[in-house]
Amino acid sequence: SLGQGSGFVISADGYVVTNNHVVADASKVEISFDEQIKLPADVIGKDARTDLALLKIKSDKSFPFVPFAEKKVRVGDWVIAIGNPFGLGGTVTAGIVSAASRDIGSGPYDYLQIDAAVNRGNSGGPAFNLDGEVIGVNSAIFSPSGGNVGIAFAIPADLARQVVDQLKASGSVSRGWLGVHIQNVSDEIAQSFGMDRAHGALITKITEDGPSAKSSLEVGDAVVEVNGEEVVNSRDLARKVADLSPDTDAKLKVMRDGKSLDLVVKLGSFPGNAEVASLNPDEKPQPSTGERIDDFGMSLSPASAAGKPDLKDGVIVMKVEPNSEAADKGLQVGDVIIEVSGEVVQNPADVTKGVDGAKSRGRKAVLFRIKSGDAERFVALTLKAS
């Protein structure tokens, strides 16, 4: 099958940048220029995480090329996009930078948002500033209709330059890996830890045989610093760790049980394929009213008594009152509460004990570790003011 996209030359000897998804499955790559010249190219390296690829034209010719921009992009700056939309051929569109540091749900890296017309086939093409420097690589569009609606996303030049340099040097990108699943620390979770504000990344799962499994890091720890730099949120932790080299030591500051601890994890190398958690939402407990926990508007039952004999620990959520704190935080019938305030629970009395303990310590919220299907997360339920 044939595929097509856009790209741009970054050096006189014929190195070309494009998107990984443009050439990911290609057995043969050909570069077409406006002058009706077509030249074969080799794929030097690909990076699925940033969706970038580096090609090298098979030719001894010297090529005109474009540089990556050095100066910082500002929202409102003019931007020119060049590419090959729908295979029509070289097309130029103009607009402005609509937003910087945009999270589009594609890994931990931020994108530029531009409103220049970008369509299918523009992928991998450059977004220029008015000095003719590349400020980004056009990679994705937001489009309920399938066509241009004025929202396009580009990989920022500074990130693209880093990735391209590594691809040129070694054909791949080497990233540090902690081997954990993480979530943001919400205001309520911060309160349950006794933190003065919400920041950091909460460890929800430690990958078996991963780097963190060999360390003293634990599920329920909130990572608030890496090598002395504050961790803003879970995406920030992923970025900071990825920027470090495999086989190096990462110094982490974590919050555990209201105390600050300093840990060291020897990083591994980020695996090629990201794990996808499989959920089993069809498993439902047997009907039962359970024991009420009035603080949060839910009823609980021991896992073994609720048709879950395979679960040694844990308490099943049997009922969630509408408009309750539990309902507001997304708890559902069938969720399993594994821990409360860091302590494993086996029956509703253990949950009550954990809640009372948090109250006695003056906490405004209680941290619950929840299992939904195969996925685990932490939820902080706010205590009513007494």
Joined tokens for residue 171? 């054909």
φ, ψ at 202 (rounded to 5°): -95, 130
What single string gives the DSSP state of each residue in 330-352? T--TT-EEEEETTEE-SSHHHHH
Helices (H), the chain: 20-23, 157-170, 187-193, 234-242, 325-328, 348-360
- 299 in active site: no
The strand pairing partners of 379, in sequence order, are 368
Are 7 and 83 contacting, i.e. CB atoms less than 8 angstroms apart? no
Give every CB contact of residue 339 below 8 A, 6+ residues apart in sequence. 220, 345, 354, 368, 369
Q: What is the CA radius of gyration of the chain?
A: 25
Of 205, 203, 204, 201, the closest CA to residue 233 belongs to 201
Give every CB contact of residue 309 below 8 A, 6+ residues apart in sequence. none
Q: State the catalytic residue, choosing from 98, 123, 301, 324.
A: 123
How far is 57 from 62, CA to CA, in rounded Å? Answer: 10
Of 199, 73, 62, the closest CA to residue 131 belongs to 73
- 123 in active site: yes
How far is 160 from 162, CA to CA, in rounded Å? Answer: 6
- 51 in active site: yes
Q: State the catalytic residue, choosing from 51, 221, 236, 350.
A: 51
Around Cβ 85, how many Cβ atoms within 10 Å?
21
Render the burial of 282-309: b for 16+ CB within 10 Å, e for the rest.
eeebeeeebbebebbbbbbbbbbbbbbe
- Collapsing DSSP states into helix, strand and coil, what is residue 87? helix
DSSP state of 25: T
Are 254 and 221 contacting, i.e. CB atoms less than 8 angstroms apart? yes
Q: How many residues does the chain have?
A: 386
Q: Enumerate the active-site residues.
A: 21, 51, 123
